């Protein structure tokens, strides 16, 4: 059983965005905004603040930039580390537990009964 | 006219701004993310424009506010986090190894930034070092500026100053005498070595300017028409004197104003050229204003100049009479000249003396014992140059000493740091860093330290430059009191900082490099740097010596002031105001002057706040003297005549003795009956009475006043004996003195002594009362009696103040130096101490060991300091700056040495206690 605290929303969304594919900073920021339906809005300063923490904790690392010239111009790419993947998996499980609890307690909130 | 380039420019600007904002972050963070963040930001910024091409100002403002806030806030947050982590030893995100350009690797700028970072990491060291250096630099720069102004730089407005000379007359090769006007006229007509020659009055003369309903004091200097040619100065407006304006006596009343007076009094109104100026009851035409800054060659300024042919107006007598050959008044102290190109001072002196010799045929013009000396012109009048030079030299030595202490202190600290960083140096050497590279870094570190000190010293110097002129006493003429911190002083400070920085920065570098690599890496042989230790010990001992010498010097001056303040000059100075009047400003001389003084006295007596009023020809303790003529005592032997050589005189009003508090011991004071037509009388002091009539009453005795070319004798009867006082200076021996009634020997200049009720401010009442009697008679000067007397002690006061401040700072620095050294030694010898304690040494004996070492240094320093202080004491005593105490005053020496001992003990006690607290087990187990 993982005893870590749940990830902060911003960190969770950054991991989620990078789980899809390696990407550079601005693209991750855009993805986070879309994924969260605009609820998590990151700007350069706050984005790199979270990113630095994730790198510190070993969940994200710099990635080799792709060869395409257009893409490399966009700067440093980042990738999820195995640790990051595991953290995301832990978070998924945690959220699933939360969902289950929600489903059990509050039938009225059920959208999909299956 | 497309929008695109403008947007590009805007983005570029935004990018640069963001790059700057990123500096809020720690360097390691920037190294890792800086580039990525700038790129991301560029996208974000571009997007702002893409989304809403006409992005509203509100949105843009919001965007920038968020960006800036985040950068600052998160930047600070990261910095705090980095510090917390560094404290716990947790590594930060390591920077990617960035390839650095060759230029960057060798750049001194990089070294300077590294140095700044190192200094910021040791705030105590940095603050102490910078503060002590800054104080030393500021003090020496200020004193240097003073010396520069007084000795090195010519006064402003003088062109080709090297060719301007002072002409002085010597008697049998000595002194700075006056030259008669007639002789100067002859010399001017015949000289071929001087381009221009001008006589000037000896100092600015107090004049009265008539204004609506009253008068104002102003100062004027009488000069020959060629005066301005001598200095090569130019008029700001109008013109200078023409030769014909300086020919017929009292015919052409013209004046030239100084630029300062024109600005202050007339608000630089060019209209002054068309209005008459009523000076001493004469209407003068203002023909010009001198160029800004020019007020003559010395630090004594003037408000205006008038031609010598008009000098009578300043004396209340016809000019022709004043300038006639053979009269006393035709003597002019100063003459200035301009050498022709290629003529040396020696050539001019030889030529002028040849001309002078031909004049000696007329003994009335030039006595045979007189010669002319040609001196370089300077800001200080020639007669005062030597004593001032001694005084300023002393100040320079004292402040230079402080700079030396500060430098050696910093050098000591740098040495200590160098040895703690020896391992770092060794490691870097082992890893292949070049020695030159290390030296350059050490040097840059030192220079950065000294540069910081120079930056702090700059405003401090400017402040001191404001304070020092304010210490100048009131003087009976305008002083060019400003103390410009000129280029030379800046160069001096900069040079001093640089040289000391390099010299003291090199010592640690040299040590670091000579040391043996293997030993240093091993870390054990750090104590072995024998001569490093010797150097550091020497520095501390030198500091102790210098600061002891300085506090003792200060102590000697303080004791002088103390002695003097206890010393009874004989006068009552409390609640007495001294008012200087000169009745020539209203053309009243001789009996008229006496009558005017009498009327003023009557008026002043009606003022309720005034208790007693008296006046005399001169104020005491101004360093000068005055006499009415030679003395002949009927029946006196040669030894008495010899003893009376030093007799001084004064002429006083009946109320004088009461006003200054001199008691009449026998006989009577003067009365209004002692008038011009009555028999001459005098009051003598105790010393005179004792010398001339030992053991007998002096009352009723007579002596002869010998006067004039024909040696006319007039009998004077002694009517009273008054208590002795100090007349010329505080340190003089008892001197015979004669007081004569003012009315019988009237003077145009008088010092009034006005005793008032304690605490009463009488200035306005006195001025008003004088204006009622004589509306255009200005008050030349007005100041408390105590201040008048204090002028004579100004050098001591200044020296005590400066040497005291400097000495105390020096003492503090020396204490700090000893503390640093002792603490350093304890740290270094911790293992040795631990072994000793493990072998049974008691904490007390360890404490004694450390204290003993410090005591040895302190003792050596103190001995040297005492010797130095004795030498300095001898020097200042030889300059007659000490009064009433010995150059080796035992009390001063003993007390201050004791004080030094206390400071040094306190400085070494803390490290000694720390040494005694060593725990052998833990220290020895440590790697």
CB B225 within 8 A of CB B254: no
Say how far apart CA B200 and CA B221 lie, in whole Å: 7
Q: Specify the pTM.
A: 0.58
Q: Does B178 touch chain A (CB under 8 A)?
A: no
Q: Is the dihedral of CA B294, B300, B305, B309 positive or negative?
A: negative
Q: Name the E strands within B603-748.
A: 610-616, 630-632, 648-652, 664-667, 681-685, 702-707, 712-722, 737-741
Of B87-96, B184-193, B335-344, B359-368, the one with minimum mean pLDDT is B87-96
Chain B hits for A47, Cβ within 8 Å: 40
Instruction: Output the pLDDT for position B100.
Output: 41
Q: Is the ipTM of this complex over 0.95?
A: no
For position B663, what pLDDT does the model report? Answer: 93
Return the higher-pLDDT residue of B870 and B119: B870
**Residues B650 and B782: beta-carbon distance below 8 Å:** no
Residue A18 CA: distances (Å) to CA of A7, A11, B492, B598: 15, 11, 64, 108
pLDDT score, position B613: 94
Pick A48's closest partner by Cβ from B18, B37, B66.
B37
Give the model confidence (pLDDT) of B677-729 as tens digits: 899 999 999 999 999 998 889 999 999 888 766 778 889 999 999 999 988 87
Is residue B460 a contact partner of residue B473, using CB atoms and an 8 Å limit? no
Selected for mutation to probe chain A from B39, B40, B47, B84 (highest A CB count within 10 Å) is B40
CA distance B496 to B511: 23
Residue B237 has pLDDT above 80, yes or no: yes
* Residues B773/B566, Cβ–Cβ less than 8 Å: no
**pLDDT for A95 beyond 90:** no
What is the sign, positive or negative, of the torsion defined by CA atoms of B709, B712, B713, B719? negative
**Does pLDDT of B518 surpass 60?**
no
Tell me what pLDDT residue B598 has: 92
Of A29, A56, A75, the CB nearest to B35: A75
Q: How far is B81 from chain A (nearest CA, A)?
A: 11
Is B664:B722 a contact under the CB 8 Å cutoff? Answer: yes
Closest chain B residue to the Cα of A54, Cα to Cα = B93
> Is residue B194 very low, low, confident or very high in pLDDT (cuts 50, 70, 90)?
very high
Helix (DSSP H) and strand (DSSP E) numbers for chain B: 29, 25
- Encode B826-846: b = buried (16+ Cβ within 10 Å), e = exposed: bebbbeebbebbeeebeeeeb
pLDDT band for position B481 (cuts 50, 70, 90): low
The 10 Å Cβ neighbour count of residue B716 is 21
Exposed / middle / buried, residue B782 (Cβ in 10 Å: 0-12, 13-18, 19+): middle
Lowest mean pLDDT among B28-32, B419-423, B680-684: B419-423
Chain A residues at the B interface, defined by Cβ less than 8 Å, are 24-26, 29, 43-49, 51-52, 55-56, 62, 74-76
Residues of A in contact with B77 (CB under 8 A): 49
Chain B residue numbers with beta carbons less than 8 Å from the beta carbon of A49 are 70, 74, 77-78
Chain B closest-CA separation from residue A111 CA (Å)? 35
CB pairs under 8 A between A and B: 60
B77 interfacial to chain A (CB closer than 8 Å): yes
> What's the per-residue H, E or C state across B213-276?
CEEEEEEEEEECCCHHHHHCCCEEEECCCCHHHHCCCCCCCEEEECHHHHHHHHCCCHHHHHCE
Nearest CA in chain A to B40: A26
Q: What is the pLDDT of residues B135-155, one digit of tens each?
A: 778 877 887 787 777 777 778
pLDDT of residue B102: 43
Q: Which tokens hold the place of B51?
A: 């989304």
Residue B37 C-alpha, separation from nearest chain A C-alpha, in angstroms: 6
Task: Please determine, for residue B241, whether its predicted confidence score (pLDDT) is greater than 90.
Answer: yes
What is the pLDDT averaged over residues B408-421?
69
Round to whole Å and give the CA distance between A96 and A106.
15
What pLDDT score does B238 carry? Answer: 92
Return the SS3 of B650: strand
pLDDT digits (tens, 9 = 90+) for B781-838: 787 888 777 766 666 676 677 667 777 777 777 787 777 777 777 777 777 888 888 8
When scoring B36, B42, B97 by the number of chain A Cβ atoms within 10 A, the one with the most, hence best to mutate, is B36
User: How much is the average pLDDT of B286-308?
Assistant: 89
Long-range residue pairs from B782-786, CB within 8 A, at least 24 positions apart, any chain:
B782/B577, B782/B578, B782/B579, B782/B580, B783/B474, B783/B577, B783/B578, B784/B573, B784/B576, B784/B577, B784/B578, B785/B571, B785/B573, B785/B576, B785/B577, B785/B578, B785/B660, B785/B753, B786/B573, B786/B574
Q: What is the pLDDT of residues B851-874, one digit of tens each?
A: 888 888 889 999 999 999 999 888
**pLDDT confidence of residue B418:** 65
Res A69: pLDDT: 45
Q: Which of A75-84, B14-23, B683-692, B709-718 has the highest mean pLDDT?
A: B683-692
The pLDDT assigned to B724 comes to 92
**Smallest Cβ distance to A43: which of B70, B77, B78?**
B70
Which H or E run includes B135? Answer: helix B123-147
The rounded mean pLDDT for chain B is 80
Nearest to A76 among B35, B66, B77 (CB): B35
Tokens read off for B334: 């100063």
Burial class (CB in 10 A: 0-12, 13-18, 19+), B751: buried
Among candidates B35, B43, B67 on the partner chain, residue whose Cβ is nearest the Cβ of A45: B67
| C-alpha–C-alpha distance, residues B815 and B403, integer Å | 16
**If DSSP codes are grouped into helix, strand and coil, which group holds residue B728?**
coil
């Amino acid at each position: 059983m993982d005893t870590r605290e749940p990830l902060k929303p911003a960190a969770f969304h950054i991991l989620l965005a990078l789980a899809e594919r390696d990407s550079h900073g601005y693209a991750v920021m855009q993805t986070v905004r879309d994924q969260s339906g605009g609820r998590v809005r990151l700007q350069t300063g706050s984005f790199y603040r979270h990113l630095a923490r994730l790198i510190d904790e070993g969940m994200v690392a710099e990635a080799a930039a792709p060869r395409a010239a257009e893409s490399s111009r966009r700067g440093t790419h980042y990738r999820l580390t195995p640790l990051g993947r595991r953290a995301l998996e832990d978070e998924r499980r945690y959220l699933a537990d939360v969902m289950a609890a929600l489903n059990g307690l509050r039938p009225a909130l059920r959208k999909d009964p299956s | 006219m497309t929008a695109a380039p403008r947007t590009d420019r805007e983005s570029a600007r935004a990018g640069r701004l963001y790059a700057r904002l990123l500096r809020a972050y720690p360097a390691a963070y920037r190294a890792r993310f800086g580039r990525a963040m700038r790129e991301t930001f560029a996208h974000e910024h571009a997007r702002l424009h893409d989304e809403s091409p006409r992005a509203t100002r509100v949105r843009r403002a919001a965007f920038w506010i968020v960006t800036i806030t985040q950068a600052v806030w998160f930047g600070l947050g990261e910095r705090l986090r980095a510090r917390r982590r560094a404290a716990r030893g947790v590594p930060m995100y390591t920077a990617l190894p960035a390839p650095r350009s060759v230029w960057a690797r060798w750049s001194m700028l990089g070294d300077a930034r590294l140095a700044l970072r190192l200094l910021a990491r040791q705030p105590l060291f940095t603050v102490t070092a910078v503060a002590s250096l800054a104080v030393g630099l500021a003090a020496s720069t200020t004193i240097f500026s003073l010396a520069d102004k007084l000795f090195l730089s010519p006064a402003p407005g003088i062109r080709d100053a090297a060719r301007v000379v002072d002409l002085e007359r010597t008697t049998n090769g000595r002194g700075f005498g006056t030259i008669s006007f007639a002789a100067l006229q002859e010399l001017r007509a015949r000289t071929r070595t001087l381009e221009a020659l001008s006589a000037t009055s000896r100092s600015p003369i107090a004049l009265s300017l008539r204004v609506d309903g009253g008068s104002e004091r102003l100062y004027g200097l009488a000069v020959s028409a060629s005066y301005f040619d001598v200095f090569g100065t130019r008029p700001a407006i109008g013109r200078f004197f023409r030769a014909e304006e300086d020919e017929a006596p009292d015919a052409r009343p013209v004046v030239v104003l100084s630029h300062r007076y024109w600005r202050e009094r007339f608000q630089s109104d060019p209209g002054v050229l068309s209005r008459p100026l009523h000076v001493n009851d004469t209407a003068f035409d203002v023909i010009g204003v001198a160029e800004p800054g020019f007020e003559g060659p010395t630090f004594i300024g003037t408000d205006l100049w008038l031609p010598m042919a008009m000098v009578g107006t300043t004396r209340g007598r016809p000019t022709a009479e004043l300038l006639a050959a053979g009269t006393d008044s035709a003597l002019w102290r100063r003459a200035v000249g301009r050498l022709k190109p290629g003529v040396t001072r020696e050539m001019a002196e030889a030529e002028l003396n040849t001309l002078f010799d031909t004049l000696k045929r007329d003994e009335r013009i030039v006595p045979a014992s007189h010669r002319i000396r040609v001196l370089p012109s300077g800001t200080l009048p020639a007669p005062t140059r030597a004593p001032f030079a001694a005084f300023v030299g002393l100040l320079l030595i004292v402040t230079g000493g402080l700079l030396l202490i500060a430098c050696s202190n910093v050098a000591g600290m740098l040495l200590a740091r160098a040895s703690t960083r020896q391992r770092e140096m060794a490691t870097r050497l082992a890893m292949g860093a070049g020695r030159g590279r290390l030296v350059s870094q050490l040097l840059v570190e030192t220079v950065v330290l000294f540069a910081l000190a120079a930056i702090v010293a700059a405003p401090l110097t400017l402040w001191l430059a404001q304070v020092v002129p304010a210490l100048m006493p009131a003087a009976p003429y305008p002083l060019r009191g400003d103390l410009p911190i000129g280029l030379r002083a800046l160069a001096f400070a900069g040079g001093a900082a640089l040289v000391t920085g390099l010299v003291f920065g090199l010592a640690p570098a040299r040590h670091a490099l000579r040391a043996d690599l293997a030993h240093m890496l091993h870390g054990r042989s750090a104590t072995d740097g024998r001569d490093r230790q010797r150097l550091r010990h020497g520095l501390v001992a030198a500091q102790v010596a210098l600061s002891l010498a300085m506090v003792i010097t200060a102590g000697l001056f303080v004791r002088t002031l103390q002695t003097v303040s206890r010393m009874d000059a004989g006068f009552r100075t409390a609640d007495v105001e001294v008012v200087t009047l000169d009745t020539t400003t209203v053309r009243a001389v001789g009996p008229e002057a006496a009558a005017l003084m009498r009327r003023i006295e009557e008026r002043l007596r009606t003022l309720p706040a005034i208790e007693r009023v008296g006046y005399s020809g001169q104020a005491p303790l101004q360093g000068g003297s005055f006499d009415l003529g030679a003395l002949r005592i009927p029946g006196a032997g040669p030894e008495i005549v010899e003893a009376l050589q030093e007799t001084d005189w004064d002429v006083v009003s009946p109320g004088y003795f009461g006003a200054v508090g001199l008691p009449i011991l026998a006989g009577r004071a003067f009365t209004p009956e002692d008038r011009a037509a009555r028999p001459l009388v005098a009051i003598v002091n105790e010393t005179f009475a004792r010398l001339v009539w030992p053991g007998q009453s002096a009352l009723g005795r007579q002596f002869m006043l010998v006067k004039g070319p024909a040696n006319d004798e007039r009998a004077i009867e002694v009517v009273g004996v008054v208590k002795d006082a100090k007349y010329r200076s505080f340190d003089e021996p008892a001197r015979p003195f004669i007081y004569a009634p003012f009315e019988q020997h009237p003077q145009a200049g008088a010092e009034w002594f006005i005793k008032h009720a304690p605490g009463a401010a009488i200035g306005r009442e006195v001025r008003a009362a004088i204006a009622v009697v004589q509306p255009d008679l200005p008050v030349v000067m007005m100041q408390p009696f105590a201040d008048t007397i204090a002028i004579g002690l100004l050098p001591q006061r200044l020296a005590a103040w400066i040497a005291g401040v400097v000495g105390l700072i020096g003492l503090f620095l020396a204490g700090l130096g000893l503390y640093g050294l002792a603490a350093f030694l304890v740290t270094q010898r911790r293992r040795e101490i631990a072994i000793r304690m493990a072998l049974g040494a008691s904490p007390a004996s360890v404490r004694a060991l450390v204290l003993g070492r410090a005591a040895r240094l302190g003792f050596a320093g103190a001995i040297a300091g005492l010797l130095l202080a004795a030498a300095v004491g001898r020097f200042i005593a030889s300059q007659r700056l000490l009064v009433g105490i010995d150059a080796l005053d035992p009390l001063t020496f003993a007390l201050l040495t004791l004080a030094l001992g206390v400071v040094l003990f306190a400085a070494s006690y803390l490290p000694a206690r720390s040494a005694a607290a060593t725990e052998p087990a833990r220290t020895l187990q440590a790697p």
